[in-house]
Structure 1
Amino acid sequence: MSANIVLGVTGGIAAYKSLQVASMLTKLDHNVYTIMTEAATEFIKPITFHSLTHLPVESKLFSTTTSEVKHIGLADKADLFLIAPATANFIAKAAAGIADDLLTTVILATQAPIMIAPSMNVHMFENPVVQRNMLALEELGYKIITPEAGYLACGYTGQGRLPDPQRLVEEIKKELSQKDLQDKKVLITAGPTREAIDPVRFLTNYSSGKMGYALAKAASYRGAEVKLVSGPTELECPLGVDLIKIESAADMKKEVFKEADTADIIIMAAAVADYRPQVYSTQKIKKQSRDLSLDLERTADILTELGKKKKTSQLLIGFAAESENLLENAQQKLRKKQADYIIANEISDKNTAFGSDKNQVSILSEEGSTKLPLMEKDKLADKIFNYIIDAERK
C-alpha cells in the first residue's frame, strides 16, 4: 500500500544518504515529497531529489506558484514524516516549537507521525542540551531513530552516524504497518541447530533461518512483542525483535520453555535436529585408517511437548519441511503434535529449498488446507499472519 511520505533534509554531510532513502521509498511505490532546509541545499541540489522521486522538492516557505497554502498542503497530505539527517539545530528548533522555515512550519501543522534521525558530531550528540531536546521531542510523541556509532565525517569516532538507508526504510515500513498484533507476545524459532561431535565438528542441516526471521519481522512490524530463538545464521535481527541465540536442540528447548508460558502465539519455524551424537568427544577425533561410526540418539521433540502443555488461549504453529507426500505428512504432523496450524513446504523444489529467498507453502488446520503461491519470504510471512488472524476472527 502506497503512502505519502514527507522527507525532511537538513544541512549535514549525511544528506547524501537521504538520496538513497528517497529512491528506495519511491521504488516501494510511496509518494516522496522532499523538504530541504536552506543549509541542506548547500550539500545537495533539489533537482537531485526531484529526479529520484519525480515529485516537487520544496525549500522556501513563501511561494506564489501554487494556490494552496504550502505548509498546510504538505502537512495535510503526509501519512508520515522522516527528518533525515536531523541536525542539532533542527532538533533544538523542533523542541522549542520554532517555525522559521518551511520544514519547521510544516511539522507544527501536521497530524502525521514524525520520525527524526539525528546525525552530528559525537560531542554534539552527547551534549546535555541536545539530549534534553531529543527527550522533549520523544515526550511529545516524536520517534527518535538512534544514530549509529563509527567513524564520522568530522574525523571523530563515536555515536552520531546517520543509520544505513535500508535501516531508515525499515523503520518507515514498521511505522506504516497495520498493528493487528498489538499487545500480543509472539515466540518464534528459526534456523538450524548444531549437535556437537567434538570441538571442531557438528551435525546440522541446510536451514538458513530466512523464513523464521521473516515471520519475526512481520510480527514485530504488526505491533507484537517478539522473541526470536535462533540457531546459527548469517541474518540480521529484525527491528524491534528480542533475539536469543542458541546452538543445539537442547539449548533451543531450554529457551523456548522459558518463554512459552507467556506467549500468545508460538511459531516453530526452526529446523531442529532430530538426532545428536550419543557421546561427545572432548578432544578432536583423529583421522584413522578405518571407518568411523557415530551412535545417534533422539533429541527432544519440542513441538510435541508444546502441544501437550499449550493453553487454550495460545496458538501453536509448526512447520513441516517435506521432500515427498507433502500434505499427507503435514496432516499427520498436525494431529500428532496437537498444533493449531502446520505450515508445509516442499523442500525438493529448487525455488523453495533451504536457503531460498522465496517459498511456497500450504497452511493446514482442522478446517482444511490453503495453498499460498510462490513469493518472497517477507511477503509470505505477512500472508501467513493475514490468514491466521482472519481464521481466528471467524
Structure 2
Amino acid sequence: MRQLGRIMLAGKHILLVIGGGIAAYKALELIRRLQEQGARVTPVLTRAGEEFVTPLSVSALAGVAVHRDLFDLTSEAEMGHIQLSRSADLLVVAPATADLMAKMAQGHANDLASTLLLATDTPVLLAPAMNVRMWTHPATRRNIEQLTSDGIQFVGPNDGGMACGEFGPGRLAEPEEIVAAITSRLSQGPLVGKRVLVTSGPTHEPIDPVRYIANRSSGAQGTAVARALRALGAEVVFITGPAAVRPPEGVEVVPVETAQEMEAAVLAALPVDAAVFAAAVADWRVISPTDQKLKKSKGGVPDLKFAENPDILKRISNLEAGRPSLVVGFAAETNDVLENATAKRVRKGCDWILANDVSPATGIMGGDENAISLIRDVGAETWPRMKKDDVAARLAQKIAQALTDLDRSD
C-alpha cells in the first residue's frame, strides 16, 4: 500500500478536519503518514479537538498554520472558508464525532469545520470515533444513512476496547487504514489506468553558449493540464522545456531543452492512451550553433543558417503503429484564430486542436488566463475566457469522456 499511496497521493491536497475525542491524537500520526506519501495536509482543528491535541503540535507536523476560527477577518475578507473548502482534492474528518456527523447530516454550519463541510463540492471521507452506544444509537444510524445517501464515504470504525472501558465498534480506524482509504478514494477518477503524455513549456534552440531562440511560453497551461489529468487518476508523463513554472507533483517529469530532445522524449514515452501537445516548440533551429560566444564584428550581423525543427505533433498524429487513441494539439494564433487553427488540425492530422488568441492585446501569453476554442472534426466549441487551471480541468474532463467512449466502442 505504501508504494501505491506514494504514487496516488503525491501532490494531492488533503483538508483534514480534526474533531474532538481522545482519538484525536491519532490525527498527528495520520498527518505524518500522509506527508510520507507526498500529500499536502491543511489541518482544521475544532474547539473540541483542541481539548485533546494542541494547535501547536498539529501545525508543527503539518508545516502550515492550523485553521480554527470561522470569523477570521483576514481570510474571510475573501470568503476564505469557501476557498478552503474547495481547494483540496479530498476532505477527511478524523476523528468524526457523533456531534459533527449530526451537523453534517442536518446541514448545520455554526463553526468553521461544519461550514467547510457544508460549503464544499469536494469529496468527503469520514473516520468516525465514539462510544459504542453512541455509534449504535438510532439517531447516529439515521445520520449515517443520510450521509451515505449524500455520497459521503466512511472508513471504520473498528471494534475494540475504548477509553471509557467499554468494548465494541467505535474505535477510530488506524492511520494506515485511513491512508489506504484516502488512496482508494483518490484513485477512483475516470482516468485511472490511463497513461497520458503532456508536453509543455518552450524549447530553447542554441545559437551559442549564451544565446538561444525560444517562444514566449511560461509553461503554465501545460502544467495545469498535467495537474488536471493527474487529479482524474491518469498516469502522466510530463515532458517540459525550460518553463517559468514548477512542474506538477505526482507526475513523471522529463526535462528537455531543444525540439529534437523533446521529440526523442515523446517517442520514448510511447505507448500512451492520449497525448496533449501544449509545448511551444520553436519552429527553427540554428544548424551549427557555436561552442563560443559570438562577438560583434565590423562585418555586421553573423550569418546564421537555419533548419526546420521536427514537427512532433504531426509525427505522432500520423504514426502507423502506436498512435495514441487521442491526440490533442494547441494552436497559438495572433490573427484569424479559428481559420488558422482549423487548417492546422487538418494539416497535422490530430484529433483536437485548442486554439487560443495570443495577440499582444489579449495579455494571454505568459498570463494566468486563456480563451480557448476546441476544434474537432464536428466543428468548433468556444469557451469563455477563464483561468488556465479551469481550462485544464475542462479539457481533462473531455479527454476522460472521449477515452471512455472509445473504450465502449471497442
- Provide TM-score, normalisation by structure 2: 0.63
TM-align CA RMSD: 4.3
| Corresponding residue for residue 43 of structure 2 | none
Q: 1-side partners of 2:157 and 2:95: how far apart? A: 19
Secondary structure of the residue that 1:19 maps to in structure 2? coil
Which residue is equivalent to 2:84?
25
Paired amino acid for 2:84: L
Distance 1:105 1:18, change over 3 A: farther
Which among 152, 160, 164 is matched to residue 79 of structure 1? Answer: 152
Separation in 2, partners of 1:142, 1:30: 14
Is the 8 Å Cα contact of residues 5 and 80 (structure 1) preserved in structure 2? Answer: no
Equivalent position amino acid for 1:19 in 2: V
Evaluate the alpha carbon distance shift between residue 73 and residue 266 of structure 1 in structure 2; reply closer, same or farther with a 3 A threshold.
Answer: same
Identity of aligned residues (%): 28
CA distance in 2, matches of 1:364, 1:244: 28
Distance in 2 of aligned mates of 1:177 and 1:369: 32
Choose the corresponding residue for 2:315, options 295, 305, 313: 305
Q: Which residue of 1 aligns with 2:222?
A: 212
Residue from 353, 372, 376 that aligns with 2:383? 372
Does 1:240 pair with 2:313?
Answer: no
Per the alignment, residue 263 of structure 1 pairs with 272
Contact kept in structure 1, 2:157 and 2:171, CA below 8 Å: no
Q: Secondary structure at the match of 1:320?
A: strand
Distance 1:235 1:178, change over 3 A: farther
Structure 2 residue aligned with 1:185: 195
Distance 1:340 1:31, change over 3 A: closer
Q: What are the within-5 Å matches in structure 2 for residues 42-191 of structure 1?
A: 50-51=111-112, 54=115, 61=130, 68-69=139-140, 73=144, 79=152, 100=162, 105=170, 107-108=172-173, 134=176, 137=177, 141-143=180-182, 179-191=189-201
Find the aligned partners of 1:316 and 1:298 in 2 and give their Cα distance.
Answer: 22
State the alpha-carbon separation in 2 of the partners of residues 356 and 229 from structure 1.
Answer: 21
Partner of 1:286: 295
Q: Offset at 1:310?
A: 5.1
Give the match for residue 330 of structure 1: 341
Structure 2 unmatched ranges of 5 or more: 1-13, 19-26, 29-52, 70-80, 97-109, 118-127
Matched residue SS, 1:250: helix
1:341 is matched with: 352
Deviation of 1:223 (Å): 1.3
Contact kept in structure 1, 2:205 and 2:286, CA below 8 Å = yes
1:15 to 52, 55, 58: 58
User: Which residue identity does 1:50 align to in structure 2?
Assistant: D
What is the distance in 2 between the residues matched to 1:263 and 1:279?
Answer: 34
Distance 2:280 2:161 in 1: 55
Q: What residue number does 1:227 align with?
A: 237
* Counterpart residue number, 2:204: 194
CA contact (8 A) 2:230 2:236 kept: yes
* Residue 334 of structure 1, CA deviation: 0.8
Aligned equivalent of 1:127: none
Task: State the secondary structure of the residue aligned to 1:354.
Answer: coil
Instruction: Identify the structure with bigger relative contact order (alpha carbons < 8 Å, sequence gap 6+).
Output: 2
- TM-score, normalisation: structure 1: 0.65
C-alpha separation in 1, matches of 2:314 and 2:87: 41
Query: Residues 14-63 of structure 1, C-alpha deviation per residue, up to 9 Å, x if partnerless?
Result: 523362599553255999786679xxxxxxxxxxx93476479xx99469
CA offset digits 1:175-231 (Å, max 9, x no partner): 558611121110110000001111111111110111111111111111111100000
Secondary structure class of the residue paired with 2:237: strand
Q: Which region of structure 1 is more displaced relative to structure 2, 381-390 or 17-26?
A: 17-26
Residue 366 of structure 1, CA deviation:
1.4
Tell me how far 1:279 sits from its aligned partner. Answer: 1.6
Contact 1:207 1:271 in 2 (8 A): yes
Secondary structure at the residue paired with 1:187?
strand
Could you list the structure 1 runs, at least 4 aligned residues long, displaced by more than 6 angstroms after superposition: 29-33, 94-97
Distance in 1 (CA, whole Å) between partners of 2:86 and 2:352 is: 35
Q: Which deviates the most, 265-274 or 69-78?
A: 69-78
Q: Matches of 2:401 and 2:347 in 1, distance apart?
A: 25
Which amino acid in the other structure matches residue 300 of structure 2?
Answer: D
1:283 positional shift: 1.2
What is the distance in 2 between the residues matched to 1:288 and 1:70? Answer: 85
- Cα distance, 1:336 vs. partner? 0.9
The verdict on how the C-alpha distance between 1:214 and 1:106 changes in structure 2, with shifts beyond 3 A counting, is farther
Contact 1:345 1:361 in 2 (8 A): yes
